[in-house]
Amino acid sequence: MRNTMKTTLASLMSLALLPMAATAYTVGSPHPGTVTATTYYSSGAFHGAVDISSGGCGVALVHTAVRGLLSWNVTIRTTGMTCYGNGSGNQNEVKHTFANGYTFRQWHFLYDAELSKDQTCDRCAIGREGGTGNVTGPHTHLQYDKSGTNSTSWYSGTVKGEFLDLDEVIGTVG
């Protein structure tokens, strides 16, 4: 009787977790590169995101990082070849807003006339690695936030200096 009760409770618990598991999405590296920043910059200032750099501007093709999402909104703020910054607020951005109110954003890619547009596809190519916005060099910035507050729990285990292959798992969002 006791084992039957445990089995029943475990079954009910697993059913309760199904909707949560169905809304979790894996985040993969948008291009091969080295993690250059996570929760804090080298200076100690809060960053609250993952930055990945291939070390070159305009070389690496940047893909959307979250697997399984079919809609991405792309905002182009600059169409020039920007590799070392052009001012805060000028970063090109691709984003998806989840039902829980959180938004996943990718910044700094270079505009590409064929790729940099609103898309409905899984793991879309959106441009090439660049440095649009407030940056010191080319990289891709991955951020998960809600109402201006960045969540850092989604990438636990990803560390500065780590090399990631294209699509290598960084964390989970949703």
Domain encompassing residue 96: 24-173
In angstroms, the CA 23 to CA 98 distance is 9
| Residue 9 within a domain | no
| Residue 14 within a domain | no
| Residue 95 within a domain | yes
Mapped onto helix, strand or coil, the DSSP state of residue 165 is coil
| Residue 120 within a domain | yes
CB atoms closer than 10 angstroms to residue 165: 10
Q: How many domains does the chain have?
A: 1
For residue 19, give Cα distances in angstroms to 10, 14, 23, 146.
16, 10, 6, 21
| Residue 11 within a domain | no
Mean pLDDT of 141-165: 96
pLDDT at 21 over 50: no
| Residue 34 within a domain | yes
Mapped onto helix, strand or coil, the DSSP state of residue 74 is strand
Q: What is the pLDDT of residues 57-93, one digit of tens each?
A: 999 999 999 999 878 999 999 999 999 999 999 999 9
The pLDDT of residue 3 is: 37
Kindly indicate the confidence band of residue 13, based on its pLDDT and cuts at 50, 70 and 90: very low
Mapped onto helix, strand or coil, the DSSP state of residue 61 is strand
| Residue 42 within a domain | yes
DSSP percent split of the chain into helix, strand, coil, nearest 5: 15, 35, 55
Q: Which residues of 134-144 are buried (b: 16+ CB within 10 A; e: fewer)?
A: ebebbbbbbbb
Mean pLDDT of 140-144: 98
Mean pLDDT of 154-163: 94
pLDDT at 137 over 80: yes
**pTM of the prediction?**
0.85
Kindly indicate the confidence band of residue 20, based on its pLDDT and cuts at 50, 70 and 90: very low
Instruction: Report the CATH number that the domain containing residue 61 is assigned in CATH.
Output: 2.70.70.10
- End-to-end alpha carbon distance in the chain: 38
Kindly indicate the confidence band of residue 119, based on its pLDDT and cuts at 50, 70 and 90: confident
